[in-house]
Structure 1
Amino acid sequence: MSDKDNLVRFGISMPQSLIEQFDRLISLQGYDNRSEAIRDLARKALLTSSSMQPTEMVAGTIVMVYDHDSRDLPITLMDLQHDYHHAIISTMHIHLNHQQCLEILVVRGEVQKLRELQQRIQVLKGVAYAELSVTHVDEHSQSHGHSHHHGHHHSHVKAETD
């Protein structure tokens, strides 16, 4: 929250059992009070890609889990990533076990293009999971009508899970 924002007080009504569960959760997460926890929930809700304008410039991640042994899937994923090379800043590939891989794409661009990439990954046979998470809205780029492109970096890290 910036210094120029004024705090506005408002009341919330919810069932007793829900507030008790919420209080336990925020206590476990280390919050001192409900207000900061609710502010974080509001910020998170505002960063859901489905609530954004299609042309908003954002940064975030696409996390996927897939079957490495699935026929031609690794090559198809690589080709797809090359098709979207302008939006992918970095990748991390982790071997979870003999068959499954976890791959994280750090992405930046228009939210509609990033959603399109995530959906094209999700529907591939052998992909168990693919999710776009938006972590930053680039208001500077949007307001000036252009985006800043940074270097493209791939890093491959092997994690032993046994």
Structure 2
Amino acid sequence: MSEKENLVRFGISMPQSLIEQFDRLITMQGYDNRSEAIRDLARKALLTSSSMQPNEIVAGTIVMVYDHEIRDLPITLMELQHDYHHAIISTMHIHLNHQQCLEILVVRGEVQKLRELQQRIQVLKGVGYAELSVTHVDEHGSGHSHDHGHSHSHPHS
């Protein structure tokens, strides 16, 4: 929130037990007051992929946990990632135990395409969890340069 933005007061009615639980939660999370916590909840709700326009450009992650012992699942996941190579910036693969893998896909593109990828992963047999988390991307830039003094041009074989 910008310092110049005006704050608007409004009232919220909640059952006593819900507000008590909420107060305990925000205290544990370190909030000084309910207003800060409510603002963060509103921001988070606005960043859910389902609340965005389908063609909005976003960046984020798809986090998945799957059973690598399920026949052909790792190959199917790799082929699916190749189908969406234009949207996947980076991946990280972690072996949680002998059977389970955690994979994180860093993605960027139209929210509708990223949702489609997440849903195609989620329905595969052996995938226990697949969650898309996104944030807005300013396509016009903020004047911040991404040139950090090194070249990204290098030969590929």
Tell me the TM-score normalized by structure 1. Answer: 0.84
Contact 1:93 1:155 in 2 (8 A): no
| CA distance in structure 2 between the aligned counterparts of 1:15 and 1:152, rounded to whole angstroms | 57
What percent of counterpart residues are identical? 90
Q: Deviations over 1:5-43 (max 9, x none)?
A: 111111111111111111110000000010100000000
Contact 1:88 1:152 in 2 (8 A): no
Q: Which runs of 4+ in 1 moved over 2 A?
A: 135-140, 143-156
Q: Structure 1, unaligned stretches of length 5 or more?
A: 157-161
Instruction: Quickly say closer, same or farther: Cα 1:24–1:85, change in 2 above 3 A.
Output: same
Tell me the TM-score normalized by structure 2. Answer: 0.86
Residue 153 of structure 1 and its aligned partner are, at CA, apart by 15
* Residue 100, structure 1, aligned to residue 90, structure 2: no
Q: Deviations over 1:97-124 (max 9, x none)?
A: 0011000101111000000100111111
Residue 138 of structure 1 and its aligned partner are, at CA, apart by 3.4
What's the Cα RMSD here? Answer: 5.4
Contact 1:91 1:155 in 2 (8 A): no
Instruction: Quickly say closer, same or farther: Cα 1:103–1:56, change in 2 above 3 A.
Output: same
* Bigger Rg, which one: 2
Contact 1:88 1:105 in 2 (8 A): yes
Residue 88 of structure 1 and its aligned partner are, at CA, apart by 0.7
| CA distance in structure 2 between the aligned counterparts of 1:148 and 1:113, rounded to whole angstroms | 25
Instruction: Quickly say closer, same or farther: Cα 1:39–1:155, change in 2 above 3 A.
Output: farther
| CA distance in structure 1 between the aligned counterparts of 2:114 and 2:148, rounded to whole angstroms | 16
